[in-house]
Amino acid sequence: MYTLDKLQSIVTKCHRCPLSKTRTNVVFGEGNPKAKLVFVGEGPGFNEDKIGRPFVGKAGQLFDKMIEAIGLKREYIYITNIVKCRPPNNRNPLEEESKICIEFLRWQVKIIEPDIIVCLGAVAARNIIDKNFKITKERGIWFNRGNFSIIATYHPAALLRDESKKREAWEDFKRIKKKYDEIDVKMER
Ligand code: URA
């Protein structure tokens, strides 16, 4: 079984899809390698591509505020994306690109063994939960897949574009924290 570091060294050299030609940096993901909670976004944006870290731009700053509001920190969780290289002009990743790259996400999840996976936005939810996932209708609902509880909420960038979505997103974050705390209690027994 690989470690996250070993996997990262492989992903950093990846040329399996055309996104590798236009990237500045691979954005592998970061956080607690033993996290109970893994957040999955869509793909790196401009700032993430420059720096090589996930969710460091405006959407990332809002994400940080939201996890802090439920008493969490980046050090407690793990955060990554469906695709590890920036799609040009921040377009959505193509199906083929996601299909190739999600293999790395599967490895990350196998290594981390989280209890909860949170899809940030429709792209993550369509790749992880269901290819026809409707974020406005199906966000905030728990799905059980094997050992994981999976939920989707709005992508923080969507909240920046449309403030009226923030109330529902806040409800989702409270649900996520409740599940997180329940798991804590289970593990302490
Ligand atoms: N949006 C994403 O989906 N992922 C990032 O890492 C940054 C912005």
pLDDT single digits (tens) 70-120: 999 999 999 999 999 999 999 999 999 999 999 999 999 999 999 999 999
Lowest-confidence region among 57-61, 94-98, 128-132, 182-186: 182-186
The neighbouring-strand residues paired with 144 are 149
Residue 124 alpha carbon, nearest atom of ligand 1: 3
**pLDDT tens for residues 3-24?**
999 999 999 999 999 999 999 9
Between the CA of 84 and the centroid of ligand 1 the distance, in Å, is: 10
User: In the prediction, which pLDDT does 141 show?
Assistant: 98
Predicted TM-score of the model (pTM) = 0.97
The neighbouring-strand residues paired with 80 are 40
Residue 56 alpha carbon, nearest atom of ligand 1: 7
- Burial code (b: 16+ CB inside 10 Å, e: under 16) for 49-79 equals beebbbbbbebbebbbebbeeeebebeebbb
- Domains (ranges, CATH) in the chain? 4-188 (3.40.470.10)
Q: Taking the mean position of all CA atoms in its chain, how far away is CA 61?
A: 15
Pocket test for ligand 1, best of 81, 91, 127 (most atoms within 8 A of CB): 81
Between the CA of 47 and the centroid of ligand 1 the distance, in Å, is: 9
In whole angstroms, what is the distance from residue 43 CA to residue 83 CA? 5
In whole angstroms, what is the distance from residue 62 CA to residue 180 CA? 20
